[in-house]
Structure formats: structure tokens, C-alpha cells
Structure 1
Amino acid sequence: MRIYKVLFKIFIGFILAFVLIALINFIPTIRLANSTMSVFVGDWVNVYYETEKEAARDAFELAEERARELAELLGLTEKENIRIYIYDKQRTMQTKKYGYIVPFLGLDWHIGDNISTDVILTSPANPGKAHDYNSVKNAVLHEIVHAYNHVLNEDMTYWVDNGLAGYLSGQNPGDIKRYGTIPTLEQTRIKGLTAPIKFADFNGYQYSYSYIEYLDNTYSWDSIKAFAQAGDYEAAFGASEEDIYNGWLRYITD
């Protein structure tokens, strides 16, 4: 019996250590703002920034100009107050989502995200290795759509959420055939903590854009709005999820 008690104590020790490490890891996520941030205040968005004022101003002006339009396209009936936090360094932004583990994740492409209706963004002035000034600035629209989608339908799939964000923010991937293997139906249902990494690995941002493009060219935008709100393929399009997927396959391969 003694050996079992020792093993049990060791097991509990490992569990407690794991929980402690996890708690420490996520300390940076507790507060999105810091005491040195300044703010641009608008009617639709407030942009908090560190030292890169002009880059933050560019992102603010674009967001303020387009936020109402994006809300209307998604069918939102009430104005949402969107707070956008812009960080001088990409790694700082990433730790606000994933914590101190960020250096081990290899997220060079990750320059923005949303946390509920709050948006976090790398400063366009320091875009990192995978982006440039304009692509980061325009990403603010992508993240605003994510924030609106959170209000619209918390159960929206990762695939549809990113498709709408990419499509409405104008992140056209160009010739879709150059992106290689097409995601399976099962891959379009991706979810969970590892979804962002797996999604990027199968070119989900590019393919989900083309998915919404297909819906827009085949059905009405009112149908897409209804689908975004309820997630019901049959009610919105009169077709099953699998039928829509197969129609999209034909659309991108013809």
C-alpha cells in the first residue's frame, strides 16, 4: 500500500505542477491594455496603441471607415463597441492570446486575433517576416469581422468564421488552384485549441475565402447572412452541408 501512496502523491504533484505552469503561461492574457498605451476614440472603434502612433492611426482610420459597413453586411442590428489593441512587437501581440509559450509555436504568420469583441493586432510598422505594412493594416478588418461574428453566432465554425473575415476584408488569395491539396469536408469542420495552426497548414484562410465567394456567386447575400446567424445550411441554402461542399469543389476545380 505504501508504494501506491507514494505514486499517488507523485501523480498529484505532476498535476499541480502542470496547473501552475499553465497559470503562469497565461499571465500575459489577463490584461490586453498596458499603462503606457494611448488611444484613438471613434464612433465604431477605439484603437489603443503603444509607440507606433502613425501606423495605429492608419489602422484606426480604416477600421472606423469600414466598421459600419461590415456590421450591416453581417446583419447586426445593434452597434458594437470594438476595442482594438495594437502592439509594437508581434510577439507581444501573440502572448496576449497564447501566453509565454509563443516562441515555441512558430507563428510567423500570426499578426492579429480577436478575444470576444476585442481585437489584438501587431503594429503595421513592424509586420514580421510573413507580412508587410498594408497586409497588417488591412488585417484589422479581418479581425473586426471575427469580433462581429462572435456577437452574431458564438457557434459559428472556424471555417465559416475565417471565410467571412477574409472575404469581407478583401483578402483575395488569387488563383486558388495554386494552393495544392483541397481541404476535406472533415477538415472544414476543424475546431479546438490547435485549430489555428492546423487551419493555416492546409491553407484554410485561402480556401475558406473561396468558399464564401462560391456562396456569394451562387446564392444571395441575404442567404449568407441568414446562414451566418443560424449556421443552418438547409434553411439558408436549401441544401445540406455536404451538397454545399461538393458544389464548392466543382466551383474551384472547373
Structure 2
Amino acid sequence: MASSVLDPTSGAGAPDEPLDTTVRLITPERITFLYPLAGPFRRATAYLIDLLVLVMVGFLGLLLSLALSLGTAAGGGLFLVVVFVLRFGYGALLEGLFNGQTIGKRAMGIRVVSVEGVPITGGQAFLRNLLWCLDGMMPFAYMPALASMILTRRFQRLGDLAARTMVIVEQRPPRAGVANLEEKAVAAILPRLPTRIDAGPELARALSDYVTHRKRFSPSRREEMAGHLARPARQKYGLPDDVPGDALLCALYHRVFLEG
């Protein structure tokens, strides 16, 4: 598949991107991807939204604890368990299940990805949220997180550094370049694919590059380009040889990037 350079400033003598806005990742095939980084203000706003959600859920947990303990002192211990689970489980669960987004991050249009630019794993989501105990260390409330974000190129707090993650501003490819689920060939393939596909960095970038630019080519040319990736994908997921390569790559793209 022909590769394209997505960074118009790449090349000898080109100026570097502003350190506080984007990060550049280059594949071995010299394909360059730019990721707009989420700065401290946007991330703090997302965190406050999540904190409000936690307070509301925690209040319901308090009422449930009191109800289960019949108003006795045992309810306090049960409530502390609820608070602990919410504090460290909320972000890990949502980011693991919803492709790097909590309610607050989704509201602010940001997402956690790995430093390779691909969706995070459940282990990464758990680790980065577990280390909030360091990032929000008392009595230096959130100063370790803020200091780490200021001092790192990718605005990474300590949890991000440990989990090898970063937070980006979500950018979807232009709708003209993405196959809609209404396209029958794509819709027919999606139920035959796993609900979660762990794509490696090279496969994820190849899918993104192909889907973003596919509309530039004729249908026959798309099939020719898609064949290199579609052939092993058919074998891996047990699909017949007559499944169109273009539709298969679009379906894989939806699973990896749009349905996580």
C-alpha cells in the first residue's frame, strides 16, 4: 500500500511543531502522524467533570451503605470501600472499556492513547489510574501531576509515564474518507469480527492511513491497495476470500478506532 506523509512540514530544514500543541510519530515506512496534545487546562476541566460524576455516584453509594447497614456504624466502613473502588476503579474501567475515554474526557473531546498512538490496553488504563495516589499526593494536591505535565514534552503526568500513555485531542478523519456503517459491505462484515481488536502500532497506522485517503482512488485501485492487509486479516478472522478487501479494512478501522 502506498504510504503518504501526513505532516506537511516534515523534511529537511522544516520547523519543529510547537511543543505544547502536537507530537509527531514517524513509522519505519516514513509515514508521519501528528497528534494534537491535550493541555493541562482541558484535562483539568475533564477531571472536574469526572469528579462531579464521582461525587454524585458516591452520594448514592453513601445512601446504599446506610440502607444496607440499617444506619449503624458499619455503614461508614462500607462507604469507605465504595469510595476506594470509585476513586481508583472509575477511570480504569471507563478508559479500558471505552477506548481511553471517561465521561469527562468524552465531554472535552480528549482521549488517552499509548505513546505509539494506538488504543490503550486494560492494563495501561489500570496502571495510569492507580498512580493517581502519587499524582494527587497530599499535602501537595495535584502538584506532582502538574509539575510532571509541564516538564514532559507530551504533557504526561506520572501515571502516563509509568503506563506509556498520553492524552490527545480527538481528531476524526474527514467523513468523506470514512466508510459509513450504512455501506452494506462494511455492515455485513462487522458482526463477523471480534468486538475488540488489539491492533499493533503498524496495523493501526496502516488502517488509519488507508481509510483517510481511500476516496482518492477508484474502487478497483482500492481493492488492489487493500489486498496486502486484507489477505492475512481474512485468514486470522476466518473470512472467505470473496470478502472485499476495501470493506474489510474499513470494518477493522471502525472496530479499532470508532467503536472502542
* Shared fold per TM-score greater than 0.5: no
> With structure 2 as the length reference, what TM-score do the two structures score?
0.30
TM-score by length of structure 1 reads: 0.30
Relative contact order, higher structure (CA 8 A, sep 6+): 2
